[in-house]
Amino acid sequence: MARLFSPRPPPSEDLFYETYYSLSQQYPLLLLLLVIVLFGLLALLAVAWASGRELASDPGFLTSMLCGLGGFSLLLGLASREQRLQRWTRPLSGLVWAALLALGHGFLFTGGVVSAWDQVSFFLFVIFTVYAMLPLGMRDAAAAGLASSLSHLLVLGLYLGPQPDTQPALLPQLAANAVLFLCGNVAGAYHKALMERALRATFREALSSLHSRRRLDTEKKHQEHLLLSILPAYLAQEMKAEIMARLQAGQGSRPESTNNFHSLYVKRHQGVSVLYADIVGFTRLASECSPKDLVLMLNELFGKFDQIAKEHECMRIKILGDCYYCVSGLPLSLPDHAINCVRMGLDMCRAIRKLRAATGVDINMRVGVHSGSVLCGVIGLQKWQYDVWSHDVTLANHMEASGVPGRVHITGATLALLAGAYAVEDAAMEHGDPYLRELGEPTYLVIDPRAEEEDEKGTAGGLLSSLEGPKMRPSLLMTRYLESWGAAKPFAHLSHVESPVSTSTPLPEKALSSFSPQWSLDRSRTPRGLDDELDTGDAKFFQVIEQLNSQKQWKQSEDFNPLTLYFREKEMEKEYRLSALPAFKYYAACTFLVFFSNFIIQMLVTNRPPALTITYSITFLLFFLLLFVCFSEHLTKCVLKGPKILHWLPTLSVLVATRPGLRVALGTATILLVFSMAITSLVFFPAASSCPFRAPNVSSTASNLSWELPGSLPLISVPYSVHCCALGSLSCSLFLHLSFELKLLLLLLWLAASCSLFLRSHAWLSDCLIARLYLGASDSSLLRPGVLKEPKLMGAISFFIFFFTLLVLARQNEYYCRLDFLWKKKLRQEQEETETMENLTRLLLENVLPAHVAPQFIGQNRRNEDLYHQSYECVCVLFASVPDFKEFYSESSINHEGLECLRLLNEIIADFDELLSKPKFSGVEKIKTICSTYMAATGLNATSGQDAQQDAEQSCSHLGTMVEFAVALGSKLDVINKHSFNNFRLRVGLNHGPVVAGVIGAQKPQYDIWGNTVNVASRMESTGVLGKIQVTEETACALQSLGYTCYSRGIIKVKGKGQLCTYFLNTDLTRTGPPSATLG
């Protein structure tokens, strides 16, 4: 029973719950209670009139009825005013209870002789409805219920105590009344506790659902921002659908496709301009920077370029070291795409000129622009980066490489689209670039119209270097200046998204302060402007609370059928009916209390015949067996110590709670058993007999006649059978989760059986009791008492009142049981959806950042105040390219202008990505792809600085993992060659050493690594040989110490590095141990 009373919630939640509960939940019950009482009073008047009684002859009865009708009509009018109900809930409930109590006491003393069994059923009705239908707290309800019981007992005890001995024994009747009232109080309190527990659980689940929705909205915003930071919006939804499918199918798996290819998210766009820009002199400057300064410098520079791109309707595609390229005309076509790119190039050059003028740092900007068509999209499975491919893209790249520092180099195609917007001059130079020399087309340099103005202004503001002093490093000067640009931090937008709220978040203060009955009872009458005062969270809060309103059960709903309350979804209805019910044992225990109370009452008011005792003994045995089965799960240790024949009982106990068929059968049998035993005493009365008290020879002086029929039970057991029937009907409401239609059927059966017994087959017993009670009455008006004093009529009216009352409660219980189930299901679904969204956010973030970096940019405590940067002493960098793909790539109508060529490249990169999911390559981190070149690194998940304290072999042990990965790439490419009938070969370059890692770019955050190690690794690939892995001398030594075999290639010329001695890794026998696969 202790589990029925949940811990008290936080004060604000408790305050709102009380308001919500009294207004939204008990409000309809209060109105229905008043309606039932009014109809009951009208029914009494109708029965009195139909039975031929003269109402004028009984002024006390008539006065009580008129006062009752007037008083309860007035209370109904007051209760229907919702605005008053909130403020006067307790006083109004007290008035209703006092009116019912006054009406009951009025009935006691009108209509005839006062007896100890008078109005017991009515007082039982008052006691039960105080708990079940009045908006009172448990303490107030208990006080009202006990006061009602005591008032009846005390009034009758004081009034009947001095009466002559002609009345039946008073003490047993008062004891029976006390037992019945006590049982009514316990049953009412139990019903109220069950309902409050269910309502509070539903209320909390609704709040949890609200918080879950907020959290879900937050996660949706997170993943939307993340997705849009990787991809353009037009591709985001399509790729998001695939991620969701992968999450549902299981991590790492791909949804089944109709072909053997991976999904390709690439589209062709015509009429675009491509801009490539490179910072001249940045490599030397970067070598002088600390890791923090380098990342800050790159973020500020590229953040400025992103800002310029946004101003000129250009989309940044990718950052490659210090190279920046973007496209205008994507995703939507723009007529001025060429002008946009040229303007952007000029602004970039201007920004670098200002930087050089302010700091004295010798850097410049080289820009190349070409216009044409591109294939754009995403390839591969991991580290998605939006990219563009086409011969036009390649040409734009060469335009930048062969350009002039500080100028924008354009092709004839771009010049034609400028339509004279800018003056140009011929490049007039012999192209050192073989690609441009082969094309043989003229190129042009754009004349910046604002360049002369800037030259005239010169450095009027003075150099920053002169202010800071001559000793400051150029890199530090540049960093100081760039900080003034104020570029946004990567993923800064995530810090502005509302943080997920926990389920323990208190209710909105504004919601509590602005709550009014109109919100929960009639939103249509909400004062204008209140919605404006509430923020979005409060508005959602009230929307959720509105869905809990009990009046919703009578209206059209997306979830329920308003007539049957069945769920509209058949699967949900089936799930609800098959749901487990652990509380069934408590229902059975409380029903046993009703049965036991009826037993005590029967024992008190009858002469306890042996047959009745035996019947109850058998029933007690059945009840004990039922309770033992229900609670045997909690007595498992005791049961297992007993005879083996009882060892199956705990299993049966679990089945009772989980099997609805067994549960319904046992519940129905229990209720029918209580109904049957409530009227068992009538079986010991003859079905029809002559009443000795109505015989003509019985004199008025025969006051010493017994109250018992010859060979039968005392006549006073007849009204107590009525009361036991009324008490037994309460067992129906104690089974809270029993379906409404079954309760309706059982109550109809009970009503029909009870009325047929007391109004037909055993109606003569009521007449005989009245004859004995009024034996010797001198006043003719007392020979026929009022309706209130005749057991069979008052009993029938009580049965109908209890029937409708319990039916209303059954409907209300059914609605709340279903509502509780619905909210639990919604909460589970929202939690699952939230979990899916969190996984999606994690996958998206890990698709941009390494797994060990991602936590830095997500979570409730992430404030994005600092740029992420990390330096490493020993990182192995790999560049693996498929040079033959450049020759393979062509653009014709046969291959859909190059789309089918990219499909093959997508298969190559996707197969390479699949290797990353293997446990042995968990330390390999993909950095990016550059056309057909794959860049990866190992050693990035090591703690910064720890390598310096470790010996060389241990600190660079991950080099072996990278070699094995390079060999695995070659094996993958061999498989692709076999299936595509190609002869692609891999060219790999490896180098190891210190690098700086960081995240830069606010518009499209990108994780990258920089340093001389990266540059040399790239040169090892570009100067390498097909089918070979080329490494530097230092890397060769490290690999040999790990057991790999390398042989010298000799001294070669490396751009930017001079003459270097390089080595080839012997991939025929990767280690000195067992042989391994050859490379490509």
Distances (CA, A) of 1034 to 952, 1037, 1053, 1060: 12, 5, 17, 11
Q: Which two tokens stand for residue 644?
A: 């083996």
Q: Which two tokens stand for residue 37?
A: 């009482």
Distances (CA, A) of 453 to 312, 364, 448, 532, 1010: 22, 19, 10, 53, 37
The structure tokens 């005791």 sit at 638
Say whether 489 is catalytic: no
Q: Which two tokens stand for residue 937?
A: 């690194």
Annotate 302-311 with b (16+ C-beta within 10 A) or e (fewer): bbbbbbbbee
Q: How far apart are CA 67 and CA 502, in angstroms?
A: 54
Q: How far apart are CA 195 and CA 204, in angstroms?
A: 14
DSSP assignment letter at 757: I
The structure tokens 């670098």 sit at 352
Closest CA relative to residue 399, chosen from 362, 437, 364, 450: 437
Closest CA relative to residue 1080, chosen from 879, 915, 882, 877: 882
Element (H, E) at 747: helix 740-756
Do the Cβ atoms of 970 and 1077 come closer than 8 Å? yes
Q: How far apart are CA 529 and CA 636, in angstroms?
A: 61
Distances (CA, A) of 494 to 82, 237, 667, 861: 45, 19, 55, 11
Q: Which of 8, 437, 450, 1055 is catalytic?
A: 1055
Q: How far apart are CA 435 and CA 393, in angstroms?
A: 13
Do the Cβ atoms of 908 and 882 come closer than 8 Å? yes
Q: How far apart are CA 981 and CA 996, in angstroms?
A: 41
User: Is the previous residue joined to 331 through a cis bond, with omega within 30 degrees of 0?
Assistant: yes
Count the neighbouring beta carbons within 10 Å of the beta carbon of residue 267.
14
Do the Cβ atoms of 411 and 395 come closer than 8 Å? yes
Say whether 644 is catalytic: no
Q: How far apart are CA 25 and CA 654, in angstroms?
A: 33
Closest CA relative to residue 205, chosen from 830, 749, 1061, 933: 830
Q: How big, in percent rounded to 5, are the helix, strand and coil portions of the chain?
A: 60, 10, 30
Closest CA relative to residue 344, chosen from 273, 427, 424, 415: 273
DSSP 258-310: SSSSPP-EEEEEEEEEEEEEEEETHHHHHTTS-HHHHHHHHHHHHHHHHHHHH
User: Is the previous residue joined to 335 through a cis bond, with omega within 30 degrees of 0?
Assistant: no
The structure tokens 């606010």 sit at 1002
Q: How far apart are CA 666 and CA 672, in angstroms?
A: 10
Residue 434, classified by CB atoms within 10 Å of its CB into exposed (0-12), middle (13-18) or buried (19+), is: exposed
- φ, ψ of residue 248 in degrees (nearest 5): -70, -35
Q: Which two tokens stand for residue 667?
A: 């519940």
Do the Cβ atoms of 884 and 986 come closer than 8 Å? no
DSSP 814-843: HHHHHHHHHHHHHHHHHHHHHHHHHHHHHH
Q: Which of 200, 304, 1019, 1028 is catalytic?
A: 1019
Q: How far apart are CA 41 and CA 48, in angstroms?
A: 11
Element (H, E) at 935: strand 933-938
Catalytic residues: 1019, 1055
